Amino acid sequence: MIADVLNGILLMLWRVVSDQPAPLAALLPALPEALRPVVSAVLCVSPIIGVFATLFALTTLMERKGLGRIQNRLGPNRVGPFGILQPAADGLKMLTKEDIIPRSADKLVHFLAPVALAVPTLLAYAVLPYGRNLVPLDLDAGLLFFFAVGASTELAIFMAGWSSHNKYSLLGAMRAIAQMISYEIPLILSAVTVVMIAGSLSPAHIVARQDGFIWGWVPHWYVLTPWGFVGFLIFTTASLAESNRSPFDLPEAESELIAGHLTEYSGFKYALFFLAEYLGMFAISGLGVTLFLGGWQAPLPGLDWVPSYLWFFSKLILMVFIFIWIRGTVPRLRVDQLLNLAWKFLLPLALINLFTAAIWHFTAVWQFPGALLLRWLLSAVMIGGAYVVLGRALSPRKKVSLRTYRYAT
């Protein structure tokens, strides 16, 4: 029996590594009936926590190194070769630091807030397809589940801000609520476009719909359609705001609110917030990859031999890198500008994009020569026109412009 189990474990690992179907089915029959649900759950959950916690560690290092390079510095390079042990040192430091709870804080809520942030963030990972055969939970309404648990993180941030009994925290929490609720709408609307075209709420199914290549080499990803491209940009912008990343890092807003809702957190609670924020960023980037970048699909024909999960993770890291790049470049928006951008620009643009997607979908029956070009042109005119008009309208009262200056001699 033990030999069976060992055999099953090895077979399961081999199936995972070599991208073969049903890895769990290799192990479960060797186990007693009563153990199967538990083992199955543990085997689904622990790799997610392990892999993404490692990715979090690597990303913090990559971020610091990348920002350093953008600023012509070397970044951390003292702990271990090339600084790769820096995250471990940071983690140890966080663990050994004193955990300070303000005397006037609401202690229970103050304690619960980081937990309440980390748990839903981890739940969101349940529905993402990481590889051809690696979907922890293939829900029919997976997308809905993702957004539902994603929305509950706002509560955790408000808990943190409110319970700290600090004015900066409170301001940060109020900003977070306004920002995250506003950006949820363009985020979901851009995802709805994909749902409309793919005809499914299941992430695995959406990835499957992006299979294959046009003309034999252009992948059939949604980002390579006009509506998908714009949808992807809207999605990326909104996900920057959802994960509180620069230029939408208003809830933390170091130069204004010290650290916003994190002001009164220290030690491992702070680390947990940090972890949850990065996990949230990975989750939402993973969703972006799934919806627009073809999930685990290979970018070129003939690259199918590379395990599918590697494609997923490389796309994920690419998105994270773009997030870091943006963070290293742009200043922060102000609250009213942030909300204006969400409600007056992204929301109408997402709606027009939805309409364009519908037109793209229904013109798919056109078969005459040049039909593809015409469809592209039509979509580009619709979205581009909307972009220009909305962009003009967003600049308030035309008074914001580049200026010329006079000189007194």
Partner 1 sequence: MSELLEAPAAGSVTAAPRNYEILPKPTDDGEVGGDLLEVAMGPHHPSTHGVFRMDVVLDGEQVVKLKPVFGYLHRNHEKIAENTTYLASMPYTDRLDYLCSMTNNWAYALSVERLTGLQPPERAEYIRVITAELTRLVNHTCLVGFLLQDMGALGTPLMYAFREREIILDLFESLTGSRMMCNYMRFGGCRVDLPVGWLDQARSALDGYEEFLETFQKFLTENEILVARSQGIGVLPPELAISASITGPMLRASGVNYDLRKVDKYGIYDRFDFRVPLGDHGDVYDRYMIRVLEMQESVKILRQALRDIPGGPIVDPKAKIRGFRPKAGEAYGRIECPKGELGFYLISDGSPNPYRYRVRPPSLINLTVLEDMCLGQTVADAVIILGSVDIVLGEVDR
Partner 2 sequence: MLGEGIIKGMAETARNFFGSYHDADRMTTVQFPEDRIPAKENARNFPFLVFDGEDPAKGLRCVACQICEKECPPKCIYIVKDTVKKPDYIGKLQFQPRVFDIDVSVCMSCQICVEVCPFEAIKMDTDYEFGTADRFGGLLLNKQRLAKPNTYYRKIHATEAAEVDERLAAEKAKAEAKAKADAEAKARAAATAAAAKATPTPVVSPTAPAIAPAPAK
The contact set with partner 2 (CB under 8 A) reads: 66, 69-74, 77, 325-326, 328-330, 387-388, 391, 394-395
Partner interacting with residue 66 (select from partner 1, partner 2, none; CB below 5-8 Å by kind): partner 2
In the complex, the smallest distance separating the C-beta of residue 68 from partner 1, rounded to whole angstroms, is 9
In the complex, the smallest distance separating the C-beta of residue 358 from partner 1, rounded to whole angstroms, is 30
Q: How many CA atoms lie within 13 A of 111 on its CB side?
A: 3
Of 18 and 72, the one with the shorter C-beta distance to partner 1 is: 72
Candidate residues 2, 32, 34, 72; the one interacting with partner 1 per rule CB under 8 A:
72
Distant-in-sequence, close-in-space partners of 71: CB < 8 Å, separation ≥ 6? 328
In the complex, the smallest distance separating the C-beta of residue 256 from partner 2, rounded to whole angstroms, is 21
In the complex, the smallest distance separating the C-beta of residue 247 from partner 2, rounded to whole angstroms, is 9
Fill in the amino acid letter for 163. Answer: S
The answer to whether 18 contacts partner 1 (rule: CB under 8 A) is: no
In the complex, the smallest distance separating the C-beta of residue 94 from partner 1, rounded to whole angstroms, is 20
Of 298 and 394, the one with the shorter C-beta distance to partner 1 is: 394
**Residues 159-178: x where in contact with partner 1 by CB under 8 A, - otherwise, as a string:** --------xx-xx--xx---
Of 263 and 379, the one with the shorter C-beta distance to partner 1 is: 263
Q: Which residues is 346 bridged to in the sheet?
A: none
Alpha helices, DSSP H, located in 293-405: 308-327, 335-340, 347-362, 371-394
Instruction: Report the C-alpha gap between 117 and 160 in whole angstroms.
Output: 9
In the complex, the smallest distance separating the C-beta of residue 330 from partner 2, rounded to whole angstroms, is 6
Classify residue 267 as exposed, middle or buried by CB count within 10 Å of its CB (0-12, 13-18, 19+): middle
Of 72 and 255, the one with the shorter C-beta distance to partner 2 is: 72
Contact positions with partner 1 (CB under 8 A) in 363-402: 395, 399-402
Stretch that binds partner 1, among 11-19, 20-28, 43-51, 323-331 (CB under 8 A): 323-331
Fill in the amino acid letter for 267. Answer: G
For residue 186, give both structure tokens: 């363009």
Instruction: Report the C-alpha gap between 382 and 360 in whole angstroms.
Output: 11
**Residues 286-305: x where in contact with partner 1 by CB under 8 A, - otherwise, as a string:** --------------------
- Other Cβ atoms less than 10 A from the Cβ of 12: the count is 20
Of 204 and 350, the one with the shorter C-beta distance to partner 2 is: 350
Instruction: Report the C-alpha gap between 364 and 225 in whole angstroms.
Output: 12
Classify residue 97 as exposed, middle or buried by CB count within 10 Å of its CB (0-12, 13-18, 19+): middle
Partner interacting with residue 406 (select from partner 2, partner 1, none; CB below 5-8 Å by kind): partner 1
The answer to whether 329 contacts partner 1 (rule: CB under 8 A) is: yes
The answer to whether 103 contacts partner 1 (rule: CB under 8 A) is: no
The answer to whether 152 contacts partner 1 (rule: CB under 8 A) is: no
- Alpha-carbon separation of residue 50 from 43, 69, 342 (angstroms): 11, 28, 35
Task: Examine residue 331 and say whether the peptide bond preceding it is cis (omega within 30 degrees of 0).
Answer: no
Of 191 and 257, the one with the shorter C-beta distance to partner 1 is: 257
Instruction: Report the C-alpha gap between 85 and 237 in whole angstroms.
Output: 32
The answer to whether 247 contacts partner 1 (rule: CB under 8 A) is: yes
For residue 392, give both structure tokens: 């003009």
In the complex, the smallest distance separating the C-beta of residue 74 from partner 1, rounded to whole angstroms, is 12
Euclidean distance between the first and the last CA atom of the chain, given in angstroms as a whole number: 94
The footprint of partner 1 on this chain (CB under 8 A) covers a number of residues equal to 43
Instruction: Report the C-alpha gap between 348 and 339 in whole angstroms.
Output: 13
Q: What is the DSSP letter of 333?
A: P
Judged by the rule CB under 8 A, the positions of this chain that interact with partner 1 are: 67, 70-73, 167-168, 170-171, 174-175, 246-247, 249-250, 253-258, 327-337, 395, 399-403, 405-409
